[in-house]
Structures are given as C-alpha cells and as structure tokens.
Chains A and B, each alone.
Chain A
C-alpha cells in the first residue's frame, strides 16, 4: 500500500510556471506589432459611414487627418453641438485648413511633399455643406489626394 502514499503530507506538487512568461510574451509581441498609437486626442465624436469598395491607406507617413463631427460632451458648453472641424488637437474653422496643409507639408521629407494624402474622418450625420467647404479649401491648397475614411461593410 505504501507506494500510493508517497506524497502524503507534502501537499500537491507545484506546477511549473516557467512557460507562462513565454506565452505572455508571445501575446505581448503580437499586440506590440499590431498596435498603432493614437496621436491626437479626439475632441469630436465620429461614427464613420460604411462602404464596401474601400482601399487601404498604404503609406501612413503621408497621411494627415481632418476630423469633423459634433464636439464631445465636455466641449459642448463651449463649442455647441453642431459638427466642428478638428485639426491636430484643437477646433478649427475652414480657413485654418490652408495653414494646416502647409504645416503638414513642411513636416514631410522634401521628396514626399507632392504626394501627401488627406484622410477625412467625418461623422455619418454631418451635413455636406461643411465637407464641401473643406474640399474647396483642400483644392485651394493643392492637396488633391483625399481619402474618405469609412468602415468596411460586409458585402
């Protein structure tokens, strides 16, 4: 009988956890690689519209963003609830776009300045008036390559 009672009194043997860090590191690397850090804090609320015929934005370094949507709750007292334009970290109006595009151009390498892409992240329920104004300003500043940011919808 004694051969079944060897461990009596010693408690359960501890499980080796030395492989746990390996597993966690694997997950960690996955997230580190797939992560993109948010650079700007959003001050407007945006639900992107859906589309099926989307193309990916390949060169992240060429892209600058223009956000349009109703201000978040904490800014509504100051800026109201009507959709506003956000450039970098502040609210702006259409006339600021010219300077914004120029600044974005200056921030790029000389060879890339001609090919900057402007991504328009606009809330679904925004009226086209403001979007048309932005497009006109972009044309005026010769930033002609644009991308209407959308969510990919199932076909």
Chain B
C-alpha cells in the first residue's frame, strides 16, 4: 500500500489568485465598441464637382440642423422625436402625396413588381459648423431608426421573420425597397463666424 502523500498547504494559492483577479478587475473595460456605421462618399476634388442634374424637390427630404441645435425638416421646425415618423412617411409615401417622392414600379426578387420610391429619392442632411455632435448623432440615429423599422416591418409582413434573421438575398431585396440613402452636403466654408 503506497504511503499517503502529505497534504500541502494551499491557503496561499487563493492569495495569488486573488491578486491576479484584482489586477484584471482593475484593468478591465467591459464596454463593447459599438456605434453607428456609415460609409463616407468618395473624395472628389472641389473643382471637379460637376453640376449634377437637379433632383426634384419632392424627391428630397431636407433635414437641417442649425448652430443652436434646432431641427428643420422640409422647411419647418420639428422636434427630434417627430423626425422618425416624418422620415418613415417620406420613405413609404403611403397615400401618394404630391409633396412626397414619386413612385415607380420595379422588379424586385421575392416580391415581383413592386411600387417603390424613385431611385433619386434621397434624405439630405446638412448641419452647421456650430452644431453639437450629440445632436447630430441623435438626428442620424432617428434616420437610421426609421429605415430599420420599415425594413423590419416588411420582413415581418413578407417573410414572417425578423430582418436580422433573413439570409443575405432576402435582406438585399428589402434593401432595394427601403434603401439607406442619406446624403450629407459637401461642407461649405462660408464667411462670418
């Protein structure tokens, strides 16, 4: 019968482990990096900017944020809370309003011929140099929220699933119906302060 090994004293092991634990506790930052993803447009030399063919007034959704963080949508003062609904109205134009974008019939996979906004329908976001970044982000957020909500609605209606759970092709089809077209005006340096 083998001799029983003497038990070694493990009480200091806990101390060592505690020390490591405290080190990691202190250095840890739990936040996962997250944010609003965006693609900037290609760089164009200011001198090369050609006059693009004018887009009809009804096909542009003008969002302005001024230096006092006031929000102007299509020429009228609006609260940030209302921006989402206005954007959704613009993107869908459910009653074929004459002031909202024109429609065209396009062939879209899974959906067949569908009535969608014309290609040129765009959200135009312009801000002042003095606009606060926080306000700018909340405006961006509302615009993205409107688009995401509409996509989600279509996904639920058509496929009975959440947009995130659909495969790539179906997502692309929905994207064709509700495109994310947010154009930010070329910043202009104007005189004054």
Contact = CB atoms under 8 A, between A and B. Distances in A.
Interface stretch (A3-11, A35-43, A86-94, A105-113): A35-43
Nearest to A123: B133
A132 B137 contact: no
A125 B134 contact: yes
Interface residues of B, number: 43
B5 interface: no
B148 A124 contact: no
Interface string B18-48: 1011001101111011111111111100000
Interface string A111-129: 0000000011011111111
B39 to A, nearest CB: 5
B137 A49 contact: yes
B90 to A, nearest CB: 17
B158 interface: no
Interface stretch (B9-17, B92-100, B113-121, B169-177): B9-17
A57 B17 CA distance: 32
Contacts of A52: 141, 145
B112 interface: no
Nearest to B130: A127
Contacts of A127: 129-133
A28 B20 contact: yes
B111 to A, nearest CB: 24
28 contacts: A18-B10, A24-B18, A28-B17, A28-B21, A32-B24, A34-B28, A34-B30, A36-B28, A49-B134, A49-B138, A51-B138, A52-B141, A57-B34, A124-B132, A127-B130, A127-B131, A128-B133, A129-B130, A132-B129, A135-B40, A140-B43, A142-B42, A144-B41, A144-B42, A145-B40, A146-B39, A146-B40, A149-B35
Interface of B: 10-11, 13-14, 17-18, 20-21, 24-25, 27-30, 32-43, 127-134, 136-138, 140-141, 144-145, 148, 187
Interface of A: 17-18, 20-21, 24-25, 27-28, 31-32, 34-38, 49-57, 60, 63, 119-120, 122-129, 131-132, 135-136, 138-140, 142, 144-150, 152
